[in-house]
């Protein structure tokens, strides 16, 4: 259901040129008519507002029931940082955050983890941008488990693309839940975006392409 809060977030993504429509290729190699690139957030106001959207979802779903949040390199780094700040600022939930380096540092303190050093038994939530085929999360879990015997309980993303993962009949989100026991929470889904465009003719006509038709074909092919 397209709620006012979801509509606000979709408009926010579009205003920041993060949600774009056209012809793109996802990390999993799929051609897609829409793309979410959180790397396009580039102002203090944008990243602050984004953190507040995520923080509200974290507060509503898990509250304070976690020990730390992890932002996978690279896009998860500013996301986790912003969410940590928004949680402390808006809800007085002051939790540590950490992220990984793609390249292991061989000088100074060394290692691949920056920020909080997780301990055995910690309950960790992941702050990410999107899940398409589950490729990124399968790269992330070994990084986390190499740090300590942590339990990853929940993952927060901007957009659930609702796409089939590695197995027919299951979305990547379903697979992540079954494979890792992680509950995935999204601010919006691809169907929310589709409904938004359907309800806003002036917006969809501004792209110069049949974005609804393209999304329908894509969703029919890849989405569940």
Catalytic residues: 105, 107
- The terminus-to-terminus CA distance of the chain in angstroms comes to 16
Distance CA 18, CA 11 (A): 10
| Whole-angstrom distance, CA of residue 28 vs CA of residue 166 | 10
DSSP 32: E
Q: List strand residue ranges (DSSP E) for 72-196, in order.
A: 97-105, 111-115, 123-127, 130-131, 151-160, 183-189
SS3 70: strand
Dihedral sign for Cα 142, 143, 146, 151, please.
Answer: negative
β strands within the chain, DSSP E: 19-25, 31-36, 68-71, 97-105, 111-115, 123-127, 130-131, 151-160, 183-189
CA dist 176 and 123 (Å) reads 17
């Amino acid at each position: 259901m397209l709620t006012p809060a979801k509509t606000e977030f979709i408009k926010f993504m579009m205003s920041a040129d993060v949600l774009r429509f056209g012809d793109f290729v996802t990390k999993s190699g799929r051609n897609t008519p829409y793309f979410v690139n959180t790397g396009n957030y580039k102002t203090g106001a944008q990243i602050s507002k984004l953190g507040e959207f995520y923080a509200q979802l974290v507060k509503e779903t898990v509250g304070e029931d976690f020990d730390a949040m992890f932002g996978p390199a690279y896009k998860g780094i500013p996301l986790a940082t912003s969410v940590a700040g928004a949680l402390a600022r808006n809800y007085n939930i002051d939790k540590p955050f950490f992220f990984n380096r793609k390249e292991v540092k061989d000088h100074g303190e060394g290692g691949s983890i920056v920020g909080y050093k997780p301990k055995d038994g910690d309950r960790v939530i992941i702050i990410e941008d999107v899940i398409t085929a589950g490729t990124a999360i399968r790269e992330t879990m070994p990084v986390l488990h190499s740090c300590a015997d942590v339990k990853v309980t929940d993952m927060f993303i901007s957009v659930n693309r609702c796409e089939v993962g590695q197995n027919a009949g299951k979305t990547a989100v379903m697979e992540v839940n079954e494979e890792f026991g992680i509950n995935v929470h999204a601010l919006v889904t691809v169907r929310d975006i589709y409904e938004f465009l359907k309800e806003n003719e002036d917006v969809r006509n501004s792209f110069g392409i049949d974005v609804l038709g393209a999304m329908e074909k894509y969703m029919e092919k890849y989405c569940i």
